[in-house]
Amino acid sequence: MWHALSSSFIWSLAMGKFNGEQKPLLKSGRALRWILLVALAGLGLAQPGMCAASEEPQAESKEEWTPPRFDERQKERNAMVRKIKSYALEDEAVLKAMSRVPRHEFVPEANSRRAYKDTPLPIGHGQTISQPYMVAEMTRQRKLKPESKVLEIGTGSGYQAAVLTEFTRHVYSVEIIKPLAEAAQKRLKRLGYDPINVRHGDGYYGWKEHAPFDAIIVTCAAGQMPPPLIKQLKPGGRMVIPVGAPFAVQSLMLVKKDKEGEVRSRSLMAVRFVPLVRKDKSSE
Q: Active-site residues: which are they?
A: 130
Long-range contacts of 9-16 (CB under 8 A, 24+ apart): 10/36, 10/39, 10/40, 10/45, 11/40, 11/209, 14/40, 15/60
CB of 188 to other proteins, least distance (A): 21
CB of 174 to other proteins, least distance (A): 11
Separation CA 43–CA 178 (nearest Å): 25
CB of 243 to other proteins, least distance (A): 6
CB of 201 to other proteins, least distance (A): 9
Residue 131 or residue 165: which is nearer to other proteins going by CB? 131
Q: Which residues bind other proteins (CB under 8 A)?
A: 83-84, 86-88, 114, 118-120, 122, 124-126, 131, 133-134, 176-178, 202, 204, 222-227, 230-231, 243-251, 253, 255, 263-278, 281
Separation CA 144–CA 231 (nearest Å): 20
**Residues β-bridged to residue 173:** 152, 198
Residue 112 or residue 251: which is nearer to other proteins going by CB? 251
